[in-house]
Chain A
Amino acid sequence: MTQILEAKDISKIYPSGEDTVTALNHLSLSFEAGKITAIVGPSGSGKSTLLNLLAGFDRPSSGSVKHQSTDITTMPETLLATYRLAHFGFIFQNYNLISILNAQENVEMPLSLAGVPRAKRSATAIEILKRVGLAKRSTHYPNQLSGGEQQRVAIARALATNPSVLFADEPTGNLDTSTGKGILELLTEPMEGSQHRTLILITHDMEVAARADTIVRIRDGALEA
């Protein structure tokens, strides 16, 4: 049982006009490698804020986040970007594909940022698109794809760099139940060698949460007892 990600006493306070909003309040949490963790909780409870901090999109007001043994909260922005590229993958509720790039180019994007040569990254992208069942859609642009298909491309993009941690913020939130199920299956699919990828996902769906190894409940920016 190896710990891969750890949040230590993190708080996040947003300014809100003259006031402030405490989105996370001294929360500590750790995640195990190869496990699926579902984060559940009412709307506005701080789930997305937590995921953004874990993924290094933003920095906590206090406390720290460590990946393996690296503290990512104090990393300079440029290094942090490279770190995200190398270790993390993200799936958003509203897919967030780049509209000017087709499916394959979207999947190639992180590889191209990482400096992978053209031939290699195109082969990788085609291979992953095949895995998510979109081999025939590789030249389609996001606006030519259905919601479910776009989310598959997004998953392919997140998997392209073979990240050690996959983050998903309500990945099925915009999809109907059966489409959502397919997406979930893709996310929870074992990696090569039957080892599971570390997956941290936010969900409203208790059925989805039931498939997780661990369920984390959040309320008002803190863990529910």
Chain B
Amino acid sequence: MNFADLSTLALRGLMRRPVRTLLTIIGIVVAVASMVVFLSLGEGFRRALGDQVSNIGPDIQVQLAGSDTSSVFGSPIPDVPISFVSKLETLKEELGIRQVIPYMLTARGSFSGSGYVILAYPFENTKLTDVYPNMKLGSGRWILPSEGNAKVAVVGSQAAKTAKLALGDELRLSRTDRYKVVGLLEKGEGITDSAIFLPFASLSSTLAVSGKATGIAIKLNDAADARATANIINQRFAGDLKAQTQGDVVQVLDKAIAIGDAFRFGISLIALIVGGLAVANTVMMGVYERTKEFGVIRAIGAKPSFVFQLVVLESLLMALLGGVGGIFVGWLGTIAVNFAVRDLVSVEIAQVTFRLVGLAVGVATVLGLLSGLLPARTASRLVITQALGRN
């Protein structure tokens, strides 16, 4: 029997219980769609974070040894004594350091995008473009060297939207402390878009911390020395400071995304396993219901392998129909996700890539084959006389 005939037979077999078949296929659709949506987020995150990290700026970031790097996303308590700034500055010549810049970072609102990040730098001797070379002013002005202690702010374009700030508005950070928006940044990629920049000393007093920074950014004369210089700093300040290069940060974030991917795939795997069991159950029920017919087909002269293929094909058809439906529904899902967060992030966070479609089809195929195996084995091993029953 050729494949077309076999497929026709398998389809007819499925059409015999159309509602049951449809419900099973819907199960697969849901499982595959959830996988597509979950993993499409991974694809989008990867792209978005890649953009942001490359815009972070400093060649080396120094933190207190033992403090948690993942707190990049939280509101870390400033814990790096400012005294380290001058200690690092003494190595300027030796290590080819151009600038040592303490900064303070605090996040407002949730990480999901509705919030913004506050970054404070000592503007007395630092320009924002030292740290972020690509940054461009949209309107207003930069914070001046004389404003190291003033209550002024420069606001990223996304942060301006979320915090509803316009030029000349006041940002209220405490009951007494209001910061006047003196500059708005042009829309850009990365973290600076969602950030509000304040003078270091002003924020210190608002937050009532003194002599501490969240971290110290180091600009090098030659960025290519970052790794080696970070190693030397780690040696000299062993136990006190921990220096990381941009590459380290990218690695940490990459690891975080990979863990996220594994987590999301794990969740969709559960859905897929449940879907697979539903297919197996449906096909197995079909086999039991048609024991007699399989007996008849075998009696007429079908080989056991023919029955095996027929049952596997039924399972495969259901899984593939579900897979195709799932990809479509998943794609609609990503459109919905992107629409929902369109104001919060500058990139399309959910992306259905070719790679992902391929994966979904592959997963559906494997699912169909695996689910069909046991029922097919059962069906192909029927004893003809038993299957036919007794007249």
A and B form one complex: yes
The interface of chain A, by Cβ under 8 A from chain B, is 48, 52, 55, 57-58, 77-78, 81-86, 88, 90, 92-94, 96, 98-101, 109-110, 112-115, 118, 157, 161, 169-170, 173
Asked if residues A57 and B299 are in contact (CB atoms below 8 Å), the reply is yes
List chain B residues, Cβ under 8 A from A52: 384-385
Asked if residues A100 and B15 are in contact (CB atoms below 8 Å), the reply is yes
List chain A residues, Cβ under 8 A from B16: 99-100
Asked if residues A113 and B1 are in contact (CB atoms below 8 Å), the reply is yes
A151–B299 Cα gap in the complex (Å)? 16
Main secondary structure of the interface of A (DSSP, over half): mixed
List chain B residues, Cβ under 8 A from A78: 303-305
List chain B residues, Cβ under 8 A from A77: 303-304
Q: Nearest chain-A residue to B381 (Cβ)? A: A77
Asked if residues A98 and B297 are in contact (CB atoms below 8 Å), the reply is yes
Q: Nearest chain-B residue to A14 (Cβ)? A: B385
* B390: Cβ under 8 A from any A Cβ: yes
Q: Nearest chain-B residue to A12 (Cβ)? A: B385
A112–B301 Cα gap in the complex (Å)? 11
From A81, A101, A169, B12 is in contact (CB under 8 Å) with: A101
Q: How large is the interface on B (under 10, 10 to 19, 20 to 34, 35 or more residues)?
A: 20 to 34
Asked if residues B303 and A96 are in contact (CB atoms below 8 Å), the reply is no
Asked if residues B303 and A82 are in contact (CB atoms below 8 Å), the reply is yes
List chain A residues, Cβ under 8 A from B299: 55, 57, 84, 90
From B292, B301, B388, A84 is in contact (CB under 8 Å) with: B301
Asked if residues A48 and B301 are in contact (CB atoms below 8 Å), the reply is no
* B306: Cβ under 8 A from any A Cβ: yes
Asked if residues A58 and B383 are in contact (CB atoms below 8 Å), the reply is yes
Asked if residues A81 and B388 are in contact (CB atoms below 8 Å), the reply is no
Asked if residues A110 and B391 are in contact (CB atoms below 8 Å), the reply is no
Asked if residues A92 and B301 are in contact (CB atoms below 8 Å), the reply is no
Measured CB to CB, the closest approach of chain A to B321, in angstroms, equals 18
* B5: Cβ under 8 A from any A Cβ: yes
List chain A residues, Cβ under 8 A from B388: 57, 92, 96
Extra contacts, 14 of them, besides A78-B304, A85-B300, A113-B306 (Cβ < 8 A), are A58-B383, A85-B302, A90-B300, A92-B296, A94-B391, A96-B292, A96-B293, A99-B16, A100-B16, A109-B300, A112-B5, A113-B301, A157-B300, A170-B391
24 A-B pairs with C-beta separation under 8 A: A52-B385, A57-B385, A57-B388, A58-B385, A77-B303, A78-B303, A81-B303, A82-B301, A82-B303, A83-B301, A84-B301, A88-B301, A90-B299, A90-B300, A93-B391, A94-B391, A96-B292, A96-B293, A96-B388, A109-B297, A113-B306, A115-B1, A161-B301, A173-B391
The interface of chain B, by Cβ under 8 A from chain A, is 1-2, 5, 9, 12-13, 15-16, 292-293, 296-306, 383-385, 388, 390-391
Asked if residues B301 and A110 are in contact (CB atoms below 8 Å), the reply is yes
List chain B residues, Cβ under 8 A from A48: 390-391
List chain A residues, Cβ under 8 A from B5: 112, 118
A98–B302 Cα gap in the complex (Å)? 13
A157–B2 Cα gap in the complex (Å)? 19
Among B5, B299, B303, B390, the one with the most A-chain Cβ atoms within 10 Å of its Cβ is: B299
Q: Nearest chain-B residue to A100 (Cβ)? A: B12
A101–B16 Cα gap in the complex (Å)? 11
